[in-house]
Structure 1
Amino acid sequence: MKSIVKIEMVVVLFALIAFSGCKKLYNLPEEKDYLSNNINYTNKVFEPIIGRTNLMGGFNGDNSTQPITFEIVNARFGDGKPVTDIFQKVPTYVFTAPYTGLEKSLAEIEAKRKIEMHALFEVRSSGEFILWGSSTNQLIKPRPSDSTNFSQDTRFFDVKIKNTGGERLIRDLQIRPFRERPYEPSNDFNAYTGLPAPDPKFPFDKKLRDYIRPYLNNVVGATTNKNLISNNDQKDVVVYIRQFKGGNGHSLRIKALNKDSVEINPAAFNETVWDKMIHGFNMQKTDKYVQYDVAYPIPLVEIQTFYAPGGSRAKAQLSYSRGSFGGGRIIANFGVDFAIYQAGDWEIVFHFKTENPKFISE
């Protein structure tokens, strides 16, 4: 049996040597990689938001041999003018180690990322496109404020795709970037103009506007004893996400205002776990607000962590309890799931517009 196996191995080895010799003798071509004629993108129109890191693509290689290289070529506007703005190279934050949400300091977070020079818009080795969060309205002109999609305002580009098996050109992809929206939810301003958004119930009344609306659970009014509501029809409580002056450049402040626009002491929200709410440090608690040192954007990356259970949003939630009839306790809370993409000093403000929340027991 062993002799048969040895004979078979010799035969196979002889065949390999003979085939190799034949290739040299008859000058047979080397085997090439396979590059399908059907490679394409599932989506050819990209509408990223400036100021955020946007991953886009949907490349279908149709079983083509890896590695494949990608190159953006012939970038032009619809009227033929060359496109250059999206290829400007600017300093860009890039993570070099995984962010987990378990970091204990800003220094530990910053040690996991560094600044590199990147073109604002790039194609990656996977075929995905990326618009980096370092983009701004000043660097890239957003789509027109009147919401039109004229060809002369649209950036077109082609993608050259290659491996050793050949080369293909995917033509006429488009990128139509929206202007910066520094935070989410952002229904309080118009995505095209950046101006305050009209009230959805009365869109032609210029005196009225839309607001970010929080969720509310068991929050009742101090005078009516009725559940407070925040929707298109009734806005008892609204949210502002806005910048403030006097911070350190990387702070986040959370506060609540009563119906007279006076700060409510955070101590009133006696069930709030302030030190577990935000992935921030050096918490300061005053009689007007609670403030953290944070790293931006928030969340830093779109992965599920303790501070961002859904991956793409953090949570600001204020809770309190009060006595109920029969000796029990009523737990009430309100909050908003949010993201902030632009570094700076920001505050999340819950404004009780019509009446104050009830804190006293029944």
Structure 2
Amino acid sequence: MGNKNIKINSPMKLIIYKYFALLLLTVTLFSSCKKIFDLPDEKDYMSNNVNFSNKILEPIIGRTNLIGGFNSDNSTNPITFEIVNVRFGDGKPVSDLFTTAPTYVWTAPYTGLEKSLAEIEAKRKIETHPIFEIRSSGEFILWPSATNQILKPRPTDSTNFSQDTRFFDVKVKNTGGERLIRDFQIRPFRERPYEPSNDFNAYTGLPAPDPNFPFDQKRRDYIRPYLNNVIGATSSLNLVSNNEKKDAVVYIRPLTSGGNGHSLRIVVLGTDSLPIDPKFFNETVWDKMIHGFNIQKTDKYVQYDVAYPIPLVEIPTSYARGGSRAKAELSYSRLGFGGTRTVGSFGVDFAIYKAGDWEIVFHFKNENPKFANE
């Protein structure tokens, strides 16, 4: 078969010997230099320009507030963050910002397709956290477990004096170094347990004045529903709700009786302040409107068992198309002129952040809707 040994001629041998000799010399010199000059191991990069886009934080107490804006300027991950030097503007210590309290944490994704309260609750658990934290992403979070009693809100007179403002610094660190970003401010607004919340003052929590008569203490502002083709029973004109005329208003308020600790009731009141039977709203798809269960329909209201907050997560679902608001919309049809069927609807895009028993009340103050055919 011939000689199986591979023969290498002398010039080739010389090249190979030189290559290995050079490689060995390089390794030896590098090792020697590290020992002689005590060269450090390679470190991560920490930019001098790491920063946050927003250093004045104005969260609303009682709901999940995620506030981002960290700019790493290409610094090497992982980066750690630590809140330090927390104080009021006059130097007084801050003791309430890191109070621990139990709060819900999701352990599986909420989709809006869950078929029961039990299925929803199986996707989250209660953990104890400081009410204010900075996450590994550099995002600040004020947990919904914060309350006005735990965390004192900003002053009711809307001032921003230094002595009323909490200041803090953030230490940003990786193996390449650390930076201290100074003088963040946090000015929390008092709890607003629902939205829209234009019916009360964000600073005082008292009823908000009528925007057209701001100094008249007898007049107040209201949540206003949208009205589409809602005709007045007396005038046969389109009803409206705006700053000038409020044919209908909305109240979002605690339910005083008939709740079970996790209920939501929808009520429509007429001009006599008595409930209008929900059967008149014959085009309303009640079971698709709210992500609720065990629907109760009476001649005075429709009520659901729900999980709070509403919406549970700010993602688009069939119950919260925009992500941040749910929708309570009632509709009805009747025969108009010429025998054509006409549909009227009204509603409000809303959120409720505080668990309990609540009701959304639509109140027709000047005229009731016209349900009769022409």
- The normalised TM-score by structure 2 is 0.93
2:325 alignment partner in structure 1: 313
Cα drift, residue 327 of structure 1: 2.0
Of 352, 366, 369 in structure 2, the residue corresponding to residue 357 of structure 1 is 369
1:259 alignment partner in structure 2: 271
CA deviation map 1:38-77 (0-9, x unaligned): 1111110000000010001201110000000000001000
The residue identity in structure 2 corresponding to 1:294 is V
The residue identity in structure 1 corresponding to 2:355 is A
Aligned counterparts of 2:26 and 2:307: Cα–Cα separation in 1: 60
Cα drift, residue 244 of structure 1: 1.1
1:21 alignment partner in structure 2: 31
Indicate yes or no: 2:238 matched with 1:224.
no
Indicate yes or no: 2:210 matched with 1:203.
no
The residue identity in structure 2 corresponding to 1:236 is D
Aligned counterparts of 1:11 and 1:96: Cα–Cα separation in 2: 59
Structure 2 matches for 1:151-300, cutoff 5 A?
151-246=162-257, 247-300=259-312
Show structure 1 runs of 4+ deviating over 4 A.
Answer: 9-20
**Structure 1: gaps (5+ residues):** none
Cα drift, residue 245 of structure 1: 2.1
Aligned counterparts of 2:26 and 2:256: Cα–Cα separation in 1: 76
Report the secondary structure of 1:107's partner residue. Answer: helix
The residue identity in structure 1 corresponding to 2:175 is T
CA deviation map 1:210-241 (0-9, x unaligned): 00000000001000000000000000000000
The residue identity in structure 1 corresponding to 2:216 is D
1:148 alignment partner in structure 2: 159
- The normalised TM-score by structure 1 is 0.96
Of 66, 71, 79 in structure 2, the residue corresponding to residue 68 of structure 1 is 79
Cα drift, residue 325 of structure 1: 1.9
Aligned counterparts of 1:140 and 1:260: Cα–Cα separation in 2: 41
Aligned counterparts of 1:16 and 1:224: Cα–Cα separation in 2: 97
**Structure 2: gaps (5+ residues):** 1-7
Is 1:98–1:112's contact at 8 Å kept on the other side of the alignment?
A: yes
Is 1:23–1:29's contact at 8 Å kept on the other side of the alignment?
A: no
Cα drift, residue 28 of structure 1: 1.6
**Structure 1 residues 147 and 12: alpha-carbon distance in aligned structure 2, compared to 1, 3 A threshold:** farther
Cα drift, residue 13 of structure 1: 7.4
**Structure 1 residues 166 and 330: alpha-carbon distance in aligned structure 2, compared to 1, 3 A threshold:** same
The residue identity in structure 2 corresponding to 1:313 is R
Cα drift, residue 22 of structure 1: 4.3
Q: Work out which of the two has the higher radius of gyration on C-alpha atoms and give 1 or 2.
A: 2
1:45 alignment partner in structure 2: 56
Report the secondary structure of 2:97's partner residue. Answer: helix
Cα drift, residue 24 of structure 1: 3.8
Report the secondary structure of 2:35's partner residue. Answer: helix
Aligned counterparts of 2:371 and 2:240: Cα–Cα separation in 1: 17
Cα drift, residue 280 of structure 1: 0.4
Aligned counterparts of 1:11 and 1:32: Cα–Cα separation in 2: 31
